[in-house]
Copies of this chain bind each other. A is one copy, B any other.
Amino acid sequence: MKENIDKQLQARNIKPTTMRQLVLQVLTVQKTAISLPELENKFEKADKATLYRTLKTFEENKLIHSIDDGTGSVKYALCREACECHPEDLHVHFSCTVCGQTYCLTDIPVPKIHLPAQFQLESVNMVVKGICSNCDK
């Protein structure tokens, strides 16, 4: 497992420090996207700023992507191995209004949009809000 973690980091040109290994471990176990405050709570004693910068580093190197789900805190989730976070790589996200979980709908690509003349697309954030399958029962 540790092996794998380090490989992932190296594949994205991120030096495998202890802190980064731990954070990536959490992100790997995690099934839904996680916010900075939530990440903080996963550790007994961890510094917000360090975690913050760790996430920034991960994001810059496209190990993770961020989702603004409108809940007030940005969430983060692992990218697929080959992801370069280009517009074609993007998928839809789902934010549950009951449990607050945010899901990567990796099978659902963001639909192409035909923009008005002279508008240039760089990226898209598409978040569906509703009730997730866990809360639907």
When the two chains form their complex, are residues B116 and A120 in contact, meaning their CB atoms are under 8 A apart?
no
| A131 sits at the interface (CB 8 A) | yes
Please give, as numbers and ranges, the residues of chain B lying within 8 Å of A133 by CB-CB distance.
116-119
When the two chains form their complex, are residues B130 and A122 in contact, meaning their CB atoms are under 8 A apart?
yes
Q: A111-B111, A113-B128 are in contact. Are A94 and B122 (CB under 8 A)?
A: no
| Interface mask (A74-107 → B, CB under 8 Å = 1, otherwise 0) | 0000000000000000001010010000000101
Q: State how many copies of this chain the complex holds.
A: 2
| A45 sits at the interface (CB 8 A) | no
Q: What's the minimum C-beta distance from A108 to chain B, rounded to whole angstroms?
A: 6
- Nearest B residue to A122 by beta-carbon distance? B130
Please give, as numbers and ranges, the residues of chain B lying within 8 Å of A128 by CB-CB distance.
113, 115, 119, 121, 123-124
| Extra pairs beyond A92-B113, A118-B136, A123-B130 (11, CB < 8 Å) | A119-B130, A120-B131, A120-B136, A121-B128, A121-B129, A121-B130, A122-B130, A124-B128, A124-B129, A125-B125, A125-B126
Chain A contacts to B: CB under 8 angstroms: 68, 70, 92, 94, 97, 105, 107-108, 111, 113-133, 136
